Amino acid sequence: MEKLLNLIVSGAVSGAIYSLVAAGLVVSYSATGIFNLGYGAVAFTTAYVYYQLHIGLGWPIVPAAVAAIVVFAPLVGVALDRLVFRRLAAAGDTAKVMATVGVLVALPAVPRLLVEWLTETAGWDLPSGTKVFLTPGIGPSPKESWRLPGGIVLDSNQLIVAVLALVVSVALWALMRHTRLGLRMRAVVDRPELAALRGVDPGRSSTIAWVLGSGLAGLAGVAGAPVFNSLSPSTYTSITFVATAAAVVGRLRSVPLAVAGGLALGVLQNLVTGYASITKDIVGFGQAVPFVVLLGGLLLLGRDRSRRAGTVAEERSVEDHRLALSAFRRRAPWAIATVLLVVYIQLVGSDYWVGVVGRGLALALVFVSFVLLTGTGGMVSLAQAALATAAGLSAGLVIERYGVSWPVGLAVGVAVAVGIGVVVAFPALRLGGLSLTLATLALGLAGDSVLFAWPWFRNGTSGWSIPRPTLGPLDLGDDRTFALVVLGVILLVTAMLHNLERSATGRALVAVRASETAAATSGLSPVAAKLGVFALSAAIAGLGGVFLVTFDFHASDSTYTTAVGLGWLAAVVLWGIRRPGAAVIAGLSASLLPALLASGFTWPEPVPSWLGWDGTSSIYVADLLFGLGAVQMAKSPDGILAFVGGRGARRRAAGPPSAAGDPAPGGEARRVIGAPAGADRTPLLTVRGLTAGYGAVGVLHGIDLDLAPGTLTVVIGANGAGKSTLCSTLGGLVPATGGRIELDGRDVTGTAPHGRARAGLMVLPESRGAFPGLTVEDNLALWLDRAEEREQAYERFPALGARRHLLARDLSGGEQQMVTLAAACVRPPRVLVADEPTLGLAPLVVAQVVAAFEELRAEGVAVLVVEEKIGGALVAADACATLRLGEVTWAGRPADLDTARVGELHLGRVIDPEPAEPALLPPSVLPAGGLT
């Protein structure tokens, strides 16, 4: 019994640290949408700073703790937000995850590099902190211990951690669920653009989230250091991986559930290690428990339950500048680079540098597997290093233990990698996005803890010896021959990938990546496509893994771990995840950079020797440079090659800019939206010569608009007419490329969306103006601060009152539209812009929506509604206009709109500026009292 109680208590203490880290992960993710795998790096760095302040400089505990936790850690959060994460708000999951990996690698190097410089150059007497046997905490030193009833032993460090976990979890839960700040942070993650349209500043929310998250990381790092008695980045990284399972238990949203999950994980891990007999037979099983929980939690809780048939792919399309180049211009640079590399390997390079290049090419072969799986297939796997390790160990086992030839060992290694790759693929059949990424991380970490720790598989602690073979005339024992052979294999694999992209299978992969539902209805099998791409990428990773261990002459379980694989993937993303050539550059740079830093370089004669560099003995410089790569990734998530090539393409395509506000084509007089004849009211929203578009594609061409208070204006246009772009440009989501937007006489053309919203401009986007992940009450609370205002909204729309605690995603389309209209009716904005508000709604709901617009008009609101079809709000409009290809083709009163000519508009024919005989709307679309 005493053993059980002590296991529970000690496990709960470890779990409390997991809880603190999990709470920080949930806060940062729920407010920014970025899951920070580099969280442990922030915790370690803060603990290291505290160690240097307290032990190195002799500061007392309280000042040192305040400086590290309250000052340093939040500043780290601000820096990471401004330099890296804020720029990744619109990036895909791959770039977001890999940027955090850059933080994981680089951040711990910063203070250690500074301490190294202060001790070696400035002469400071500071401990290096590399070998710390008694890590200081924020409690008394030496620690105090108590023996409680039941034989439980508890010390002051454990008690502090437990109390902190409880206090922090309660405070965070209250912050996220019961404050406006927490509500705004959750809204930014749910729909960032809509949050900006509701007056929420996404940048401020992001900064606050990273400050809170980094502060929690610092608290966990400093308070937890004496519990784990370690001041090593790897320890904090392992804690983060375990805490990830706790965060998943909380669905990455709930702080209390994440805290409870962390406590449960700590206890469970201790109980399994202390009692389960299976742990005696399976090495590392106790350490793998959190990763099993992580995988199981993702499979049970992580599935996307949204209605896939009603969605489209949300991944940002990537502009490929190479499409504008001829085949020769696309291929010539790579052909020249290949020839130069062959010449260097065969004739120029020394034996040392040729060996470095050979190892880099073997790495590049593994990296090419990322291009297929992530670049083409759109699935992020963090288990590729595990596949390479499995292939290398398998090849070494059959070669050394069973005496088979190297080609047979290569085939066995690749086959084992494919088998494990198919197992890794199974979560992809159910999960996607971040959930799939974390699932593959769990599988990779479980492999490191259990499979690769199996003594029979890894040959104990000695590993396997793998001699380099002679294949006919090719002696792989020679580094030059080895490098050329691997280069040849890379060229063959690259050619295969190019052929795959152009084949029916490649098109099927692209279709499944864009929309599984659409692909399935077209006769394609998403299951077969996913399994196939995982198996093929695993084969490539296994092939590279065998070449790696062959280059090393040795295969072990500790060289290429899953944590190392994170850096591999980040290196490929840094250069360009969609290009095999980028994978080759990433492999070479991963091998050459450390060698260059260690040995330096000299130029050949007659260049003076002083222009060379002697290198550095610091082991932290390479990690720091990797972090700078993460910053570059934030600037260009598509990779360095795409960034450089895109700049060149834009320079080639640049032409003379067109003057904003040019006269309408043919010298016609401008047609102004919202200016019916006889109107004498001063416009509240004025637009002149507005142009906007996306990149080089122009959409709006010289739009003029006047919206007066207490008027309802309707714009009609077919799909592609520019209606949604007009609404987004007025709201600030799409920047204007020309013209001027004034709100009550103030120029807001360059004002951010949240600034326009706070000035009184509300935009209802086409996909409903509700946050699907927030309840009805929370949706209303974003616009209506006071509870009595929300009660007025429920009185105005009784159907919402009965659903106030439901998530908006569970409402019908009409009810979601009511959520926003209810808030606007209770606290009217000055200008309301609605993008197809009646799309897909039942006639009865359409009538309610139109009634709400009329009510707002009566309150003095300037209302602009854009629609594709005649009807809806048009029956109550004061003015209307038609839009075609971004130009106003007619503007006037609804009574003067010729509906037959609107049909011509949809067929692509231009409407005459002034119909000879105005035709009234048919009686079926007129209100009972006619138009006034």
Give the mean pLDDT of 174-194: 83
Tokens 């990273």 sit on residue? 210
- Tens-digit pLDDT profile for residues 758-806: 999 998 887 667 888 888 999 888 888 888 888 888 888 888 888 888 8
Cα–Cα separations (whole angstroms), residue 411 to 236, 415, 454 = 38, 6, 22
Q: Distance (Å, rounded) from C-alpha 926 to C-alpha 922? A: 7
**What's the sign of the alpha-carbon dihedral 668, 670, 674, 675?**
negative
Task: Report the pLDDT value the prediction gives residue 724, as an integer from 0 to 100.
Answer: 87
Lowest mean pLDDT among 190-204, 501-515, 534-548, 857-871: 501-515
Alpha-carbon distance of 290 to 243, in angstroms, equals 8
What share of the chain in percent tops pLDDT 90? 17
Exposed, middle or buried: residue 614 (CB in 10 Å: 0-12, 13-18, 19+)? exposed
- Percent of the chain at pLDDT above 70? 83
As a whole number, mean pLDDT of residues 135-150 equals 78
Query: What pLDDT shows up at residue 918?
Result: 39
The answer to whether 723 and 835 are in contact (CB under 8 A) is: yes
Q: At 19, is the secondary structure helix, strand, or coil?
A: helix
Mean pLDDT of the chain: 80
Q: How confident is the model at residue 670, as a pLDDT?
A: 66
**Mind listing the pLDDT tens digit for each residue in 247-306?**
888 878 777 888 888 888 888 877 777 665 555 556 656 667 777 777 777 777 655 444
By C-alpha distance, which of 863, 882, 877, 890 is closest to 927?
877
Nearest alpha-carbon partner for 677 in 893, 862, 916, 881 = 893
Residue range 214-230: average pLDDT? 87
Closest CA to 41 of 127, 94, 102, 118: 102
Helix (H) or strand (E) holding 557, with range, is: none
Confidence of residue 662 (pLDDT cuts 50, 70, 90): very low
Backbone torsions φ then ψ of 702, nearest 5 degrees? 70, 55
Cβ atoms of residues 869 and 718 within 8 Å: no
- On the CB side of 912, how many CA atoms lie within 13 Å of its CA? 10
Please give the structure tokens belonging to residue 16: 């409390």
Neighbours of 552 (CB within 10 A): 16
Cα separation of 246 and 241, whole Å?
9
Spatial CA neighbour of 851 closest among 870, 833, 838, 867: 838
Max CA distance (Å), the chain: 99
Residues 577 and 887: their CA atoms lie apart, in Å, by: 39
Q: Establish how many alpha carbons lie within 13 A of residue 628's alpha carbon, considering only the half-sphere containing its beta carbon.
A: 7
Strands in 697-707's sheet, in edge-to-edge order, are 672-673, 697-707, 685-694, 736-743, 746-747
> Cα(470)–Cα(12) distance, rounded to whole angstroms?
56
CA proximity to 830, closest of 734, 738, 745: 745
Question: Residue 670 gets which letter from DSSP?
Answer: P
* Spatial contact of 410 and 395, defined as CB atoms under 8 Å apart: yes
Q: Of 887, 913, 916, 911, whose CA–CA distance to 899 is shortest?
A: 911
Beta bridge partners of residue 693, listed in sequence order: 698
Q: How far apart are CA 39 and CA 45, in angstroms?
A: 10
- Per the CB < 8 A criterion, the answer to whether 495 and 483 are in contact is no
Q: What distance in Å separates the CA atoms of residue 744 and residue 739, rounded to the nearest whole number?
A: 16
List the structure tokens of 889: 């083709």
DSSP secondary structure letters along 733-788: SS-EEEEEEEETTEE-TT--HHHHHHTTEEEE-TT-SS-TTSBHHHHHHHH--SHH
Answer for the pair 743, 684: CB distance below 8 angstroms, yes or no: yes
Q: What is the pLDDT of residue 653?
A: 56
What is the pLDDT averaged over residues 372-390?
A: 87
Specify the pLDDT at position 929: 34
- Lowest mean pLDDT across 132-136, 583-587, 725-729, 868-872: 868-872
Residue 900 confidence (pLDDT) = 63
Chain-centroid distance of CA 297 in Å reads: 21
* DSSP result, 606-642: TS-GGGSB-----SSHHHHHHHHHHHHHHH-TT-HHH
Q: Which contiguous run of DSSP H or E holds residue 414?
A: helix 406-430
One DSSP character per residue, 168-182 reads HHHHHHHHHHHSHHH
pLDDT given at position 45: 94
pLDDT band at residue 23 under the 50/70/90 scheme: confident
What's the whole-model pTM score? 0.78
Residue 230 in this model has a pLDDT that exceeds 70: yes
Does 179 have pLDDT greater than 90? no
User: Contact 778/771 with Cβ under 8 angstroms?
Assistant: yes
Confidence category of residue 307, pLDDT binned at 50, 70, 90: very low
Q: Mean per-residue pLDDT for 649-662? A: 50
Average pLDDT over residues 158-183: 84
337, 334, 340, 341: which is closest to 357 by C-alpha? Answer: 341
